[in-house]
């Protein structure tokens, strides 16, 4: 609330108001306020009394009795999403630019994690906001997964999600004969005022925890992922006329005699993109990016389309794919399988040897794939081994590298990508962990898909009406957008890397992205590489779908969309329909409908990513359950108030080292520098450091790994020099007693797949 008068020259006015705000609801006299401010001189107390009088006159505090004061609460309400922490308290996230509102334990009313809530703000200053939940506006979900605790007189379900801070009461009439200790799917019935916990009923008994089938079905239920298609959807898919007639071919550009092949993972079944290649008489190359023409078979608002809208994306769990479209479409009719004629929607480019685009064409095609390659087969050809279509592959690889160089000049940011994969035995037990590493074969496909997506987005943008304000019913395009990092995050990153002698040029978008790429190259192989790479990745926002274009910061593109995977992403189907309408000078849809579909697709994409991570986490815990007591090299992947997260280098399994179990010293948490410092030894454990850990526990129920810290790994550096170097990096930030202070002026990075706050 703004002051009615100019700010008082009394230096204690703001601190006094903050004390009363922080103790909202309490009545304090000037002596108590003085004590809380640690001010004890007579002159200080006189100033405090004067400031209290001023605050009363301004209407910001109340004098309840003579000499006794209370903060006057302002009726400020805000809406947001509630995010629970382990203590039972929570934060309400209202907007990306506002500080989250802390909700103390006991003040969360009947809210559950993820709900949209109304919160009454009871305290606020420049550093902190607090409040209490007034009401739940909308439940994020009503179905939950947990373990039943059954007795003769009662049944409670303890949820798997540790962000759900309460157990659910199940009336005995709603238990479906569940046995104690079984994992179940429950449905929220309600939460009566005054009751300690919500009431639910059991929808499905999943089985006993620890069994592969039980746990995978539990993950699917937790994230509301379907395990089958409705019968009517399957029937509709089987009833599709899949014959490619001569009449249909006559309407399309014929690429059946042009060299064409697919490049995909070895275990892929849904081949939604292919490349064609032809040398032209003028010395240029014709490269076709051919995408399965899903929308030829799936029409807007038909039963298959509606199911695709709801799913929005295929989900890839460790042991299965949950497809967006029925298998007959995704793996057979639309899949660009070798030696079969297929209908496609294509982006065809005439390119010179420098990979510059001379001409481009978009339209419907028919193709015949000559060969199905795996990434491994193409990589061997690129590395010099003989193979089919070697000349074509090597030219495409050279062109892709030139496209990549151009992207680099224009501001694309390149992070090394590694995906965790498992080999499972016949019972679903992980027997090996390996990594999918991007090599030239992957990048070849990626670069041409990026080119097609970029050019389609540009074409759709050019088709939009110029100089007219869009309305809900006007034409629109669908973009894949990626906002630039917040200035605060870039400033924090720049401040941190400066301690190691690096810097970011933040004068403009291109200079910033160029300097981030240079930073990532410069730190390779350095002791600080792990820390800086982690922080650089976490400074980036997430990409989403939208009808409002802001460009794609990470790629350095002004226009970008998703066109190349319509079998597994619904936005790509939307883009296919928009592009077809553009070619035919028609209008497929309107702004309002497309924007709603974009928001839903973005939300489903996030859910899919969370489910995929949950399945990986479960298999990582299962993989290590028989390795308790084993010691592994690891890298510190997160530093928080409650401990250190470390990721085992050889298998990417991540666990928590609790700070209370680091017994060799008393460690102080330095939030600004993402590290712990030993009070006596000055030993430092920082984000990105390599350490030795021992596997202490692998909890299958909680999908949680606990590690013990064994030692640091400091090659080519003595411990003495390490301390000196880290002390220099920290800027010798000490308090008057010579101890490192805990500094909370900025938030520590949030560990991947972990709670937002504790």
In the chain, domain spans: 13-71, 76-138, 143-209, 625-729
Q: What is the CATH number of domain 76-138?
A: 2.40.50.140
> Among 276-290, 315-329, 414-428, 656-670, where is mean pLDDT lowest?
414-428
Fold of the 13-71 domain:
Arc Repressor Mutant, subunit A (1.10.10)
Give the N- to C-terminal CA distance of the chain in Å, as an integer. 30
Strand order in the sheet with 667-670: 667-670, 675-678, 684-686
pLDDT of residue 454 exceeding 90:
yes
CB neighbours of 279 closer than 8 A, spacing ≥ 6? 285, 286
pLDDT of residue 6 exceeding 70:
no
pLDDT of residue 465 exceeding 60:
yes
Contact (Cβ atoms closer than 8 angstroms) between residue 261 and residue 370: yes
Question: What is residue 74's predicted lDDT score, i.e. its pLDDT?
Answer: 66
Contact (Cβ atoms closer than 8 angstroms) between residue 676 and residue 658: no
> What are the pLDDT digits (tens) for 694-752?
999 999 888 899 999 998 775 434 333 444 444 444 444 334 333 333 333 333 333 33
Q: How confident is the model at residue 413 (pLDDT cuts 50, 70, 90)?
A: confident
Mapped onto helix, strand or coil, the DSSP state of residue 26 is coil
| pTM as predicted | 0.80
Given the structure tokens 């930073």, which residue do they identify? Answer: 519
> Among 526-535, 545-554, 656-665, where is mean pLDDT lowest?
526-535
Contact (Cβ atoms closer than 8 angstroms) between residue 422 and residue 617: no
Q: How confident is the model at residue 756 (pLDDT cuts 50, 70, 90)?
A: very low
Q: Choose the most confident range, by mean pLDDT, from 35-39, 68-72, 396-400.
A: 396-400
Question: What is residue 8's predicted lDDT score, i.e. its pLDDT?
Answer: 46
Report the mean per-residue pLDDT for the chain: 87
Q: How many angstroms separate the CA atoms of 171 and 144, rounded?
A: 16
pLDDT of residue 244 exceeding 50:
yes
Residue bearing the bigger pLDDT, 653 or 535: 653
pLDDT of residue 331 exceeding 60:
yes
Residue bearing the bigger pLDDT, 31 or 344: 344
Q: How many angstroms separate the CA atoms of 300 and 574, rounded?
A: 9
Q: Do domains 76-138 and 143-209 have the same CATH topology?
A: yes
Query: Can you identify the CATH homologous superfamily of domain 625-729?
Result: Nucleic acid-binding proteins (2.40.50.140)
> What are the pLDDT digits (tens) for 370-394?
999 999 999 999 999 999 999 999 9
Question: What is residue 687's predicted lDDT score, i.e. its pLDDT?
Answer: 82
Q: How confident is the model at residue 607 (pLDDT cuts 50, 70, 90)?
A: very high
198: left (phi over 0), alpha (psi -120 to 50) or beta: beta
pLDDT of residue 317 exceeding 50:
yes
- As a whole number of Å, the CA-based R_g of the chain is 30
> What are the pLDDT digits (tens) for 185-200?
999 999 998 888 999 9
Question: What is residue 109's predicted lDDT score, i.e. its pLDDT?
Answer: 93
Q: How many angstroms separate the CA atoms of 165 and 536, rounded?
A: 32
φ, ψ dihedrals at 330, nearest 5°? -70, -35
Query: How many Å separate Cα 233 from the centre of its chain?
Result: 31
Instruction: Identify any residues that bridge with 78 across adjacent strands, giving them in sequence order.
Output: 119
> What are the pLDDT digits (tens) for 675-684?
899 999 989 9
Q: How many angstroms separate the CA atoms of 412 and 561, rounded?
A: 15
Residue bearing the bigger pLDDT, 753 or 236: 236
Q: How confident is the model at residue 105 (pLDDT cuts 50, 70, 90)?
A: very high
Q: What is the mean pLDDT of residues 666-671?
A: 90
Question: What is residue 85's predicted lDDT score, i.e. its pLDDT?
Answer: 87
Given the structure tokens 């079998």, which residue do they identify? Answer: 567
Please return the burial class of 593, using the count of CB atoms within 10 Å of its CB with bins 0-12, 13-18 and 19+.
Answer: middle
Instruction: Identify any residues that bridge with 371 across adjacent strands, giving them in sequence order.
Output: 261
Nearest to 108 by CA among 99, 120, 94, 96: 120
> Among 1-15, 339-353, 498-512, where is mean pLDDT lowest?
1-15
Instruction: Identify any residues that bridge with 693 across adjacent strands, giving them in sequence order.
Output: 632, 709
Fold of the 143-209 domain:
OB fold (Dihydrolipoamide Acetyltransferase, E2P) (2.40.50)
């Amino acid at each position: 609330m703004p002051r009615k008068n100019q700010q008082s020259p009394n230096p204690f006015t703001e601190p006094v108001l903050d004390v009363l705000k922080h103790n909202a609801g309490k009545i304090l006299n000037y002596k108590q306020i003085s004590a809380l401010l640690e001010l004890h001189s007579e002159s200080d107390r006189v100033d405090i009394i004067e400031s209290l009088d001023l605050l009363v006159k301004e209407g910001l505090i109340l004098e309840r009795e003579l000499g006794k004061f209370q903060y006057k609460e302002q009726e400020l309400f805000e809406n947001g999403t509630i995010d629970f922490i382990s203590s039972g308290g929570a934060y309400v996230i209202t907007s990306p630019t506002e500080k989250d509102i802390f909700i103390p334990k006991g003040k969360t009313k009947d809210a559950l994690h993820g709900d949209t809530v109304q919160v009454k703000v009871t305290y606020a200053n420049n550093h902190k906001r607090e409040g209490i939940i007034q009401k739940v506006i909308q439940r994020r979900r009503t179905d939950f997964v947990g373990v039943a605790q059954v007795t003769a007189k009662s049944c409670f379900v303890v949820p798997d999600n540790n962000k759900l801070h309460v157990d659910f009461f199940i009336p005995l009439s709603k238990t479906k004969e569940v046995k104690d200790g079984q994992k179940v799917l429950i449905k929220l019935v309600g939460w009566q005022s005054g009751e300690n916990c919500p009431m639910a009923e059991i929808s499905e008994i999943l089985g006993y925890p620890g069994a592969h089938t039980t746990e995978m079905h539990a993950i699917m239920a937790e994230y509301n992922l379907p395990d089958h298609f409705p019968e009517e959807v399957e029937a509709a898919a089987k009833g599709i006329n899949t014959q490619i007639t001569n009449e249909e071919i006559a309407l399309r550009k014929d690429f059946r005699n042009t060299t064409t092949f697919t490049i995909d993972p070895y275990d892929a079944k849904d081949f939604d993109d292919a490349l064609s290649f032809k040398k032209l008489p003028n010395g240029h190359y014709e490269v076709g990016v051919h995408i399965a023409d899903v929308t030829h078979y799936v029409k807007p608002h038909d039963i298959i389309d509606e199911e695709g809208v709801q799913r929005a994306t295929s989900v890839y769990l460790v042991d299965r794919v949950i497809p967006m479209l029925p298998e007959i479409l995704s793996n057979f009719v639309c899949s660009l399988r070798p030696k079969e004629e297929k209908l496609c929607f294509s982006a065809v480019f005439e390119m010179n040897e420098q990979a510059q685009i001379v001409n481009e064409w978009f339209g419907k095609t028919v193709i015949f794939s000559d060969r199905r390659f795996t990434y491994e087969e193409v990589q061997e050809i690129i590395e010099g081994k003989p193979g089919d279509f070697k000349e074509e592959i090597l030219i495409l690889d050279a062109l892709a590298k030139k496209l990549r160089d151009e992207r680099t000049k224009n501001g694309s940011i390149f992070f090394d990508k590694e995906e965790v994969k498992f080999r499972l035995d016949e019972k679903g037990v992980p027997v090996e962990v390996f990594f999918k590493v991007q090599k030239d074969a992957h990048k070849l496909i990626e670069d041409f898909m990026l080119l097609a997506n970029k050019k389609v987005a540009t074409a759709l943008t050019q088709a939009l009406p110029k100089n007219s304000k869009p309305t809900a019913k006007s034409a629109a395009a669908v973009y894949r957008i990626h906002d630039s990092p917040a200035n605060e995050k870039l400033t924090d990153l720049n401040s941190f890397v400066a301690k190691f002698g690096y810097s970011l040029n933040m004068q403009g978008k291109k200079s910033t992205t160029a300097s981030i790429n240079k930073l990532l190259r410069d730190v390779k192989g350095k002791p600080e590489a792990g820390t800086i790479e982690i922080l650089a990745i976490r400074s980036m926002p997430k990409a989403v779908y939208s009808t409002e274009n802001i460009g794609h910061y990470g790629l350095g593109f002004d226009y970008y969309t998703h066109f190349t995977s319509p079998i597994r992403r619904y936005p790509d189907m939307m883009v296919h329909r928009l592009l077809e309408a553009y070619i035919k000078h028609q209008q497929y849809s309107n702004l309002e409908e497309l924007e709603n579909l974009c928001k839903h697709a973005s939300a489903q994409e996030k859910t899919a990513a969370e489910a995929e991570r949950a399945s990986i986490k479960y298999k990582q815990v299962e993989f290590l359950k028989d390795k308790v007591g084993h010691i592994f090299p690891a890298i510190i992947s997160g530093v928080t108030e409650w401990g250190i997260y470390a990721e085992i280098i050889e298998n990417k399994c991540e666990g928590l080292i609790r700070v209370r179990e680091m017994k060799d010293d008393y460690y102080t948490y330095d939030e600004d520098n993402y590290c712990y410092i030993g009070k006596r030894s000055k030993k430092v454990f920082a984000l990105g450091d390599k350490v030795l850990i021992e596997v202490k526990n692998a909890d299958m129920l909680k999908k949680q790994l606990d590690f013990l810290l064994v030692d640091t790994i400091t090659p080519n550096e003595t411990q003495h020099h390490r301390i000196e170097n880290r002390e220099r990096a920290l800027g010798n930030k000490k308090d008057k007693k010579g101890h490192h202070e805990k500094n909370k002026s900025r938030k520590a990075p949030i560990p991947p797949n972990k709670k937002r706050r504790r």
